[in-house]
Amino acid sequence: MIICEELVKIYKTDEIEVVALKGLNISITSGEMMAIIGNSGSGKSTLLNILGGLDRPSAGAVQVGEWNLLKISDDDLVQYKRTTVGFIWQNNARNLVPYLTALENVEMPMMLSGQYDRAYAKQLLEWVGLKERMGNKLQQLSGGEQQRVAIAISLSNKPTLLLADEPTGSVDSKTSDMIMDIFRKLNRELGVTIVIVTHDMELASKVDRVVAIRDGMTSTEFIKRNPNLDDLGSEGKGQSRMIQDVHEEYVVLDRAGRLQIPKAYLQALKIDNKASMEFDGEKIIIRPPKILNH
Ligand SMILES: Nc1ncnc2c1ncn2[C@@H]1O[C@H](COP(=O)(O)OP(=O)(O)OP(=O)(O)O)[C@@H](O)[C@H]1O
């Protein structure tokens, strides 16, 4: 469904240029539920904004279904956003109107896009567990409930792709679990492709695949060892271990065979800008360069 190749995004402000994506490669299959993790400033939101049609890439290739988001016209971009993609942010307040009811909040964007359907709006709120609360004004709902209204809104255009930027960032762990359950249901029952950007390793361990972004490029990838295992339970393990327990880690190769070696490995081996590489027929062994270091 999604293919990004050598994706570049440069932000130009008055005097400085920030290269937020530096030739990022990623492909996401239709029907997948996956997460993108990475440190602050690594380019996660930039990628999500490009996939959501909120921002345009500077170079490279980005295809979502039939849409080429590098070359797309402004009119088609509007169409793309209307028909293909749904967006959820951590801070949902910007999408919601506090003095309207939950139902009116879901209906409003439907009206604006000419796809008004009250029965469907009700069904969506039922889907996110707010059947009893749809007549309540937004300001009468808790943060977690408001976030669920935001999820209902993001589905109002029946998107095939749902993009969520830190969707559980400002809710407690119980609500976070509930939101992840809703995502899982949408993914399983409606086949919606879901891409979640998160800092939260525990949340990341609940998806099938996690791609780590470092410095505007994809670095490592974690794939679930047992895809049927939905919930790990919390066994008091350290958060960063949980993802290792559930997922197998892979290093990502781009088309040209380039790979990014994690900085921590390079530092541990004192490898700077050169390494010796050996292929023994089964393995590729990377070591510090002998001549330079000894
Ligand atoms: N509109 C913009 N103008 C200039 N620079 C920007 C803009 N948006 C993002 N950047 C820069 O691009 C880089 C990547 O930012 P991005 O928001 O994608 O990172 P992130 O991984 O989502 O971080 P966080 O987890 O903190 O949200 C950062 O250096 C950021 O300062």
Residue range 41-85, pLDDT digits in tens? 889 999 999 999 999 999 999 999 999 999 999 999 999 988 899
E strand residue ranges, 13-160? 17-28, 33-37, 59-64, 67-68, 85-89
Query: Among all chains, which residue has been given the structure tokens 């781009």?
Result: 254
By alpha-carbon position, which residue is closest to atom 26 of ligand 1? Answer: 40
From ligand 1's centre to the CA of 288, what distance in Å?
33
What span, in angstroms and rounded, lies between the C-alpha atoms of 127 and 150? 12
Task: Find the mean pLDDT for residues 209-232.
Answer: 74
**CA-213 nearest atom, ligand 1:** 21
Whole-number Cα distances in Å, 237 to 23, 74, 84, 157, 169: 35, 48, 39, 40, 21
* Domains, the chain, ordered by start: 2-84+159-260 (3.40.50.300), 261-294 (no CATH)
Closest C-alpha to 52, from 185, 193, 146, 181 = 193
Q: Are 35 and 203 in contact (CB under 8 A)?
A: yes
Residue 61 C-alpha to ligand 1 middle, in angstroms?
20
- How do residues 95-132 score in pLDDT, each as one tens digit? 788 899 999 999 998 888 788 899 999 999 998 999 99
Closest CA to 156 of 117, 128, 194: 117
